[in-house]
Amino acid sequence: MREPAPTGIPSKLLPQLADFFLRGFEAARARFSPPISLEGFDVESRGRPVEDEAEREGREAARLRNEGLTFGQIARQVCRYRGRPGHRCKKPCADRIRQAHQSYLRREEQRRTDRELTSSVAGEQIELAITHLR
């Protein structure tokens, strides 16, 4: 679903208008906790909120994967339970972190898409933004 830009607005002004709306959107977003996001309008990404620990494990895992570590090695560095007495990171930890890593990459992709949407000031993007903000 797409809304055309309102009639009567010179197309030259659309980039400024888009900029204005998006600054308003960012200002409003900054006031909410947890922050609102265009992500919420995406049915695919709805679901239970991401736990901070899972987010952290996923983010750290992504960094360590880039350094070539296995999920077993990563688990021993980032597992949320690693400080618990008697805990030793084994396959269940590695599996959980592998999953946190996958989800993290998916969210990063979604966040990248959000950023592209919200930072663009092109006329086509303002139409999209208006649609989403309604």
Residue type, 78: V
Q: How far apart are CA 9 and CA 1, in angstroms?
A: 21
Q: Which is nearer to Zn ion, 38 or 100 (CB)?
A: 100
| Residue 25 near Zn ion by CB under 5 A | no
CA distances from 121 to 15, 17, 116 (A): 5, 8, 10
Q: Which is nearer to Zn ion, 74 or 89 (CB)?
A: 89
The SS3 call for residue 121 is: coil
Contacts with Zn ion, 77-96, as mask; x by CB under 5 A? --x-x-------x---x---
What phi, psi does 101 have (nearest 5°)?
-60, -50
| Residue 100 near Zn ion by CB under 5 A | no
Q: Which is nearer to Zn ion, 25 or 81 (CB)?
A: 81
Q: Minimum distance between the CB of residue 76 and Zn ion, rounded to whole angstroms?
A: 7
Nearest Cα to 56, choosing from 85, 79, 40, 34? 79
Q: Which is nearer to Zn ion, 62 or 130 (CB)?
A: 62
Question: For binding to Zn ion (CB under 5 A), which residues are involved?
Answer: 79, 81, 89, 93
